[in-house]
Amino acid sequence: ETGVTQTPRHLVMGMTNKKSLKCEQHLGHNAMYWYKQSAKKPLELMFVYSLEERVENNSVPSRFSPECPNSSHLFLHLHTLQPEDSALYLCASSQDLATGNTEAFFGQGTRLTVV
Amino acid sequence: SQQGEEDPQALSIQEGENATMNCSYKTSINNLQWYRQNSGRGLVHLILIRSNEREKHSGRLRVTLDTSKKSSSLLITASRAADTASYFCATFEGYGGATNKLIFGTGTLLAVQP
């Protein structure tokens, strides 16, 4: 148990569906991240939030929409996805971004399959 | 953008042997971290080495950092079957401010045969 919880663990959705991934951290951290992990590719940083403000958007398609209502919760809203969006989506948190001298804590991930 | 690249991509050893994985990166860093990932699960932090450090130990793990060569190595001594996992290096870019981010390498898949 890392203190970062992601739900659901598995999700199958059609290309016309709308769904949301949820991440919650109980560590009192100020920074939260979404990563995408596809087979045989490095982890791709998607979004970074610091103190509930989005500070990084790595050219992610608009069909992915993040939301950070408070420092403990992070969502990733999904709509009209493509089959190539199938991947493991990982949420992480860290104490802060200012110094970076802290580790990142990861959730167990959501395995997303788009059919 | 991808920062680190691990070498080798895959490594298979016998229990009791040592495993060495290497990581190269491209830009200046604040620190370098190593993570482990069991199949299909989240990543777990192993060790962090700062840019002004050259070597660090944690249990059976030994990490070195050579900033002149922009490379790091992770040594796992006396490996166990339970060490079977993917290992990633990650570099923290930036020195303060909103643009800091943790970038991961491609990973080394370690298989320890019992």
Q: Tell me if A9 sits within 8 A of A108, measured CB to CB.
A: yes
Tens digit of each residue's pLDDT (9 = 90 or more) over A36-83: 999 878 889 899 898 888 877 778 999 999 999 998 999 999 999 999
CB contact under 8 A, A2 and B42: yes
**Residue in chain B lying closest to A10 (CA):** B40
What is the structure's pLDDT at A78?
97
Residue A88 amino acid letter: L
What is the structure's pLDDT at A64?
96
**Three-state SS at A60:** coil
Supply the mean pLDDT for chain A.
91
Q: Among B113, B92, B94, B83, which Cα is nearest to B21's?
A: B83
CB atoms closer than 10 angstroms to residue B28: 12
Q: Among B2, B31, B13, which Cα is nearest to B109's?
A: B13
| Chain B CB contacts of A42 below 8 Å | 2, 104-107
CB contact under 8 A, B31 and A101: yes
**Residue in chain A lying closest to B36 (CA):** A106
Tens digit of each residue's pLDDT (9 = 90 or more) over B47-75: 999 989 999 999 999 999 999 999 999 99
CA A18 to centroid of chain Cα atoms: 16
| Chain B CB contacts of A104 below 8 Å | 33, 35, 43, 45, 90, 102
What is the structure's pLDDT at B94?
59
Supply the mean pLDDT for chain B.
89
Q: Taking 80 as the threshold, does the pLDDT of residue A88 lie above it?
A: yes
How far is it, in rounded angstroms, from Cα A6 to Cα B87? 22
**Three-state SS at A83:** helix
Percent of chain B with pLDDT over 90: 67
Binned at pLDDT 50, 70 and 90, residue A96 comes out as confident
User: What stretch of H or E contains A19?
Assistant: strand A18-25
End-to-end CA distance of chain A: 31
| Angstroms from B99 CA to nearest CA on chain A | 7
Largest CA distance in chain B: 47
| Chain A CB contacts of B88 below 8 Å | 43
Selected for mutation to probe chain B from A11, A43, A91, A102 (highest B CB count within 10 Å) is A43
Which portions of chain B are predicted below pLDDT 50?
1-2, 95-96, 98
- CB proximity list for B74: less than 8 A, separation 6 or greater: B20, B21, B22, B23, B34, B46, B47, B61, B62, B63, B87, B89
What is the structure's pLDDT at B100?
64
What is the structure's pLDDT at A99?
61
CB atoms closer than 10 angstroms to residue B35: 25
Name B74's bridge partners: B21, B63
**Residue with the larger pLDDT of the pair A94 and B100:** A94
What is the structure's pLDDT at A100?
61
What is the structure's pLDDT at B106?
86
CB contact under 8 A, B41 and A94: no
How far is it, in rounded angstroms, from Cα B56 to Cα B49? 7
